Amino acid sequence: MVHVTNALKKFHLTFQEKNWAQRAYMLMYAGFCFYILFFPLGNALREIGIGITLAGMIPYYALDYKNSQVKRFRLKWIYLLFWAYILFKVFHSINIHYSWYGFETNFKKGFLLFFAGIECVRSRKDLKRIVILFCIMGFYEGLDGFYQYFTGFDLVQGTATMYENRLTGSFSTYRVGNLMAMILPPAMGIYFLWNRSWSAPKKRLLTALILIPALFLFAAAKARSGYVGYFMACIAMLLFFRGFSWPKTIFVLALVCGALFFGPSRTSYTRAIGDPRIQYIWPTAIQVFEHNPILGVGVNGFTKGFKSLGLHMPGGLDIIPHPHNVYLQLASETGIVGLGLFLFWIGSYLLWSWKKIRTGWLESSDTTHWALAFCFWSAFLGYTGIAISGHNFFRTWWLGMALTLLGITIGACLAQPDSSQPSKK
């Protein structure tokens, strides 16, 4: 308690010494950290974190935009162009009310968090702090998963285990598996924070002990989209840190084949092929796109769009609000223009940041900075994999976390690494 009191006093004194722009920045930073740390504990706490973040961000940009990281980010126009088109598709829509709801709820809960991520990473110290926050978040959420596994109910919300014994943690839905898929890659960055003098086996053991709860919940939630996303992130990290080799490639292919043909029923080839998404939902989305190929039917307009064409899906699927595939959703709702802008946005950002991180990893003395940056890069890459078969693009928590990860990645690429760290070479 004494340590907490002293920390608060130190923060208060530091806050008093700053000018108003710096105070606003500190408020934004505190809110952003709060948002990350308490993300799984419910929408109310996420709202508090977002509110604090925006309360600092808006005055910070008003007072000191010229010194912000966003000002130095030359590719921000691509992001703004995509969202400007989405706003256009709100009013050029088959269902304007529902379109506006999707845009408005995601403006502060997703769109603006991208900028917070960019601003809150200005050094290796910031990256370390955020990695630790992801570790803590994944650890306590994983422990809640253990509790739910043994008792049948999670400790925080009291949510019961769902069908097929799928765990939810405090997130109250098995979609926590998709959240864990995005949390785990940055949490794995803890490996690079251990004492450099320690042996690799010791660091691996400590890292594993911290990650085991999150990995358990990730696996037990049985979210197949999350499996795909985390698999992509791990492959990217393996190639980046270890390089390509045929034995590794064969091993990875063997794992995939094992999961498809000899693994649990949820990951089996037969189960995947018979999924309603493949049999009914995705073909329906393609038909909607074929009738509106250029501009689509409008944001969040999938359901009304396919019904307006006289299309029907069996088994109660007619009420489904999105096609469970972000790429098909954007194609059917925003047309080839919207899908093209989306792919241009995420593709250009991933390529730009990849080049920055790769160059830094090979040439900079601060390899820890770039290693941590790549952990966040791979997490966002995983998001693009989850997007193949899970979620509405406008699901606020999912988009908010994805844009948080992307913002942190861009911020790390714009930041100034610590040149005092010894080189790995």
Percent of the chain with pLDDT over 90: 75
Percent of the chain with pLDDT over 70: 88
8 Å CB contact between 256 and 211: no
Q: How far is CA 115 from the centre of its chain?
A: 14
Give the pLDDT of residue 351.
98
179 plus 310 within the same structural domain: yes
Residue 289 belongs to what domain range?
Answer: 69-414
CB count, 10 Å around CB of 129? 15
8 Å CB contact between 374 and 240: yes
- Tell me, yes or no, whether 115 lies in a domain: yes
Residue 16 scores a pLDDT above 90:
no
- Tell me, yes or no, whether 420 lies in a domain: no
- Tell me, yes or no, whether 81 lies in a domain: yes
Residue 28 scores a pLDDT above 50:
yes
Mean pLDDT, residues 22-30: 96
130 plus 39 within the same structural domain: no
361 plus 265 within the same structural domain: yes
Give the pLDDT of residue 226.
92
Give the pLDDT of residue 12.
55
**Chain mean pLDDT for the chain:** 89
Reported as a single tens digit per residue, the pLDDT across 145-187 is 999 999 999 999 999 999 888 999 999 999 999 999 999 999 9
Which band of pLDDT confidence, cut at 50, 70 and 90, is reported for residue 318? confident
Give the pLDDT of residue 266.
63
Indicate the range of 6-10, 92-96, 250-254, 379-383 predicted with least confidence.
Answer: 6-10
75 plus 134 within the same structural domain: yes
- Tell me, yes or no, whether 406 lies in a domain: yes
8 Å CB contact between 170 and 141: yes
- Tell me, yes or no, whether 363 lies in a domain: yes
284 plus 263 within the same structural domain: yes
Give the pLDDT of residue 421.
45
Mean pLDDT, residues 78-92: 97
173 plus 304 within the same structural domain: yes
CA dihedral in degrees (229, 233, 236, 239; nearest 10)? -120
Give the pLDDT of residue 108.
86
8 Å CB contact between 180 and 386: no
Query: Any residues with CB less than 8 A from the CB of 425 and at least 6 apart, and which?
Result: none
User: What are the distances in angstroms from CA 278 to CA 55, 142, 282, 320, 323?
Assistant: 44, 31, 6, 14, 10
252 plus 146 within the same structural domain: yes
Q: Which two tokens stand for residue 359?
A: 């160059």
Residue 255 scores a pLDDT above 80:
no
Final residue in a domain of this structure, among 67, 94, 117: 67
50 plus 35 within the same structural domain: yes
- Determine the Cα–Cα distance for residues 15 and 32; give it in Å rounded to an integer: 17
4 plus 148 within the same structural domain: no
Mean pLDDT, residues 392-400: 94
Residue 5 scores a pLDDT above 70:
no
Reported as a single tens digit per residue, the pLDDT across 346-392 is 999 999 999 999 999 998 888 999 999 999 999 999 999 999 988 89
Which band of pLDDT confidence, cut at 50, 70 and 90, is reported for residue 13? low
Q: What residues are paired with 162 via a beta bridge? A: 166
pTM of the model: 0.91
Mean pLDDT, residues 91-112: 92
Give the pLDDT of residue 299.
95
Residue 11 scores a pLDDT above 60:
no
Q: Which two tokens stand for residue 232?
A: 């992509």
Q: How far is CA 146 from the centre of its chain?
A: 23
60 plus 83 within the same structural domain: no
Which band of pLDDT confidence, cut at 50, 70 and 90, is reported for residue 14? low
Final residue in a domain of this structure, among 22, 38, 67: 67
Give the pLDDT of residue 257.
66
- Tell me, yes or no, whether 421 lies in a domain: no
Mean pLDDT, residues 211-232: 93
Give the pLDDT of residue 423.
40
Final residue in a domain of this structure, among 38, 67, 96: 67
52 plus 183 within the same structural domain: no
- Tell me, yes or no, whether 288 lies in a domain: yes
Residue 118 scores a pLDDT above 80:
yes
75 plus 206 within the same structural domain: yes
- Determine the Cα–Cα distance for residues 389 and 266; give it in Å rounded to an integer: 14
Pure H helices in 18-121: 20-37, 43-64, 69-72, 76-91, 96-106, 112-119
- Tell me, yes or no, whether 423 lies in a domain: no
What's the domain count of the chain?
Answer: 2
